[in-house]
Structure 1
Amino acid sequence: MMEQTVSKAHGSAVTLAIRCIRWLDGIPYTLLAIPLRLAVANVFWSSAMVKLANWDAAIALFQDEYRLPLLPPELAAYMGTSIELSTPVLLVLGLFTRPAAAALLGMTTMIEVLVYPQAWPTHIQWAAMILVLLARGPGKLSLDWLVRRKFFGES
């Protein structure tokens, strides 16, 4: 008798797990892409805001800490901040998402390799989110999707 109760409970748990997995598998990518786009945008936008809050400190950071090879600190600061200001806007709108993601993946790689190699646990999280956006795009709630639908007839 006890074995039948345990067996039924086990069967119910397995059935529930299967239902949950099927439900999770059914979540449209579009709904998953939105928090990815917002999370990545927030990381880089926040960084730009810190730099803009004290531009002299930002320049000093590029001179003293970042020290990117081949680029003067002022140029590197302007370039980095420009990317950090423009790509988050594109990600939030879902416009030119893949090029924006590619730029941010390049920036993340440079930060990891040249500036903060010990911060790889954070950078791998950024890279994972960016890679999903690069590979799968912004989803249907985006300007990219509207453009593709209007000009290329995709649905």
Structure 2
Amino acid sequence: MTALLHRLDSLLAQIPHEVLALLARLSVGTIFLRSGLLKLDGWAGGTTLALFREEYMLPLLSPELASYLATGAELSLPILLFLGLFTRPAALALLGMTLVIEIFVYPNAFDTHGVWAVALLYLAKFGPGRLALDRLLFTSAAPSAYGRA
């Protein structure tokens, strides 16, 4: 049994960071982009603003401001993740949004939000990998900042 576990450990250790980072960028980015597209679609019929007024009810922000900020973030930040451009700030911004959703909107959805948070924390800590614009734009200044050394 120990030999099997060591073999499994060896196999898993060979999964490149680039694969994990790309999967994290695409999967969590898709979740937020789809949400943003739904909000955008709901502007015409008033459902987006109604959600922020009647269901989400965030403290400190008016429903109008919160709806514009959330829609803008969900339409722009995933694109940055897909491109691997400003990945760490985009991941941290979406992590902040995830925390707001978990704390103020759907506090019983930790199972879902926890998965998002792990993917976003992974990207914030380890960067987007080599398959990213960050690597092309920023490696000369700080070689290990946007990919694992």
State the TM-score, normalizing by the size of structure 2: 0.89
Deviations 1:18-73 (A, max 9, x none): 33321220221011111110011011001011111111100000000111112111
Work out which of the residue numbers 9, 32, 36 in structure 2 matches 1:48: 36
CA distance in 1, matches of 2:2, 2:132: 37
Work out which of the residue numbers 7, 32, 36 in structure 2 matches 1:19: 7
Greater share of helix: 1
Cα RMSD of the aligned pairs, angstroms, is 1.6
1:105 aligned residue: 95
The residue type paired with residue 60 of structure 1 is A
Work out which of the residue numbers 26, 34, 45 in structure 1 matches 2:22: 34
CA distance in 1, matches of 2:93, 2:42: 24
State the TM-score, normalizing by the size of structure 1: 0.85
* Structure 1 residues 49-128: aligned runs within 5 Å: 49-55=37-43, 56-128=46-118
Q: Name the larger-Rg structure.
A: 1
* Gap change, CA 1:153 and 1:122, over 3 Å in 2: closer
Structure 1: any 5+ residue segments left out of the alignment? 1-12
Identity of aligned residues (%): 49
Structure 2: any 5+ residue segments left out of the alignment? none
Aligned length: 143
